[in-house]
Structure 1
Amino acid sequence: MAEQPRRRLAPEVRRAQLIAVARDVFVEHGYQGAAVEDIAAAAGVTRTLIYKYFADKDEIYLECLRAARTELDEAVVSAAGTMTTPEDQLRAGFGAYFRFVRDSGTAWDVLFGGGAAVAGRVADSAAHHRYDTAEVIGGLIRSAVPRLDAELASSYAHAISGAAEQAAKWWRRHPDVSAEDMVERMMDALWTGLERVAERNA
């Protein structure tokens, strides 16, 4: 029986597959330790095919980061969007965030937790994605408190985003603490001030 020819994947499907494989490679080897050859080997393709879709390792990493950020943003917006009060929205958003950290594990370390030791163009782009994620939170705040000034909402959102990221880094060192406990700790630390903001702008 003649061997069946290998089915060629659509470009968008192949690209998504390579990003998923690359994420696992970065998790295993770290950003500095991973090479394009490692990604090609893990995907069962040639280096030439990798370079058909990506210019270099930096671009592959940035695509992994972009995909993960999109997943995180969508999870937070989806969770918060089901709630009607600012307090419940904040708690639901934190819940989605810490579940993402818990379920992503070491992938979060590499992509968000500073474990990648990135610099230059990659670091600049990572900072840009971090800024955009905070602005997503700002949109949720403005939705919950429509009368709040947009600039104020943005500044509060960046404070929340930074606090959540640092709390997640701490949590990765203290895995005995539950995601639910982390949510309540963040609420204890942040909700009192935000509650007053919501009341003043109701």
Structure 2
Amino acid sequence: MAGQPRRRLAPEVRRAQLISVAEDVFVRLGYQGTAVEDIAAAAGVTRTLIYKYFADKDEIYLECLRAARAELDAAVVTAAGGAQTPEDQLRAGFGAYFLFVRDRGSAWDVLFGGGAAIAGRVAEAAGRHRYETAEVIAGLVRAAAPGLDEESASAYAHAISGAGEQAAKWWRHHPEVTAETMVERMMDALWTGLERIAERNG
């Protein structure tokens, strides 16, 4: 009701709210087109409150990226963890990945797909996040091929991650293709080699 004081949110709740709002603003305006004022206006707060939680726009963007990467990583690991064979694990992981791209497409463009013109420390941090996601995949590769050394598992995982990212960029230009088709295309491209690796190092 009018005249009632605004309810004060716990710091962790407010921070999560601001990250969620900021992602929507970055999607709508792009990284370069977004200012802290835009995020504050969308959240219904002052710039001063934004700066209480974040040093600048770059930090807000990186928090959005970190949260989205964590969401994607968890979805892939959960999906793969529910499958029995290495082949099914890979297919389930790709399935979770492409569902994320489909359902969060605009956010994927800005945060992962090069839709944001980022540079400097933001680009460096984004690269670190990308590396960490590939290392999550490395864990799945090692689970499928327990005898594989860690260096090889990491190298294969980064190849898979790069292929998935490029395939997703292509798919964003071809929305008529189904997620299921993208999964099967990735399996066709990658499974034969990984199957041999798993057989040799199982």
Q: 1:106 — aligned with what?
A: 106
Residue 44 (structure 1) aligned with residue 44 (structure 2): yes
Task: Find the aligned partners of 1:124 and 1:4 in 2 and give their Cα distance.
Answer: 45
Q: Report the Cα offset of residue 2 of structure 1.
A: 8.4
Q: 1:174 — aligned with what?
A: 174
Task: Find the aligned partners of 1:6 and 1:40 in 2 and give their Cα distance.
Answer: 16
Task: Find the aligned partners of 2:42 and 2:113 in 1 and give their Cα distance.
Answer: 24
Task: Find the aligned partners of 1:187 and 1:199 in 2 and give their Cα distance.
Answer: 17
Task: Find the aligned partners of 1:158 and 1:200 in 2 and give their Cα distance.
Answer: 20
TM-score by length of 2: 0.98
Which aligned pairs between 1:26-175 and structure 2 lie closer than 5 A? 26-175=26-175
Superposed structure 1 runs of 4+ greater than 6 Å apart: none
Q: Name the CA shift for 1:199/1:2 in 2 (closer, same or farther; >3 Å).
A: closer
Task: Find the aligned partners of 2:100 and 2:13 in 1 and give their Cα distance.
Answer: 24
The alignment partner of 1:151 has SS state of helix
Q: Name the CA shift for 1:174/1:2 in 2 (closer, same or farther; >3 Å).
A: closer
Task: Find the aligned partners of 1:73 and 1:137 in 2 and give their Cα distance.
Answer: 9
Q: Report the Cα offset of residue 84 of structure 1.
A: 1.6
The alignment partner of 2:30 has SS state of helix
Task: Find the aligned partners of 1:2 and 1:195 in 2 and give their Cα distance.
Answer: 64
What is the one-letter code of the residue matched to 1:126? A
Deviation digits for residues 129-181 of structure 1 (CA, Å, limit 9, x no counterpart): 00000000001111121111111100000000000000000000000000000
Q: Report the Cα offset of residue 4 of structure 1.
A: 2.5
What is the one-letter code of the residue matched to 1:68? A
The alignment partner of 2:84 has SS state of coil
Segments of structure 2 that go 5 or more residues without pairing to the other structure are none
Task: Find the aligned partners of 1:196 and 1:47 in 2 and give their Cα distance.
Answer: 55
TM-score by length of 1: 0.98
Task: Find the aligned partners of 1:93 and 1:63 in 2 and give their Cα distance.
Answer: 24
Segments of structure 1 that go 5 or more residues without pairing to the other structure are none
Task: Find the aligned partners of 2:185 and 2:67 in 1 and give their Cα distance.
Answer: 28
The alignment partner of 1:31 has SS state of coil
* Identity %, equivalent residues: 82
Q: Name the CA shift for 1:166/1:8 in 2 (closer, same or farther; >3 Å).
A: same
Q: Report the Cα offset of residue 3 of structure 1.
A: 3.1
C-alpha RMSD of matched pairs (Å): 1.0
What is the one-letter code of the residue matched to 1:192? T
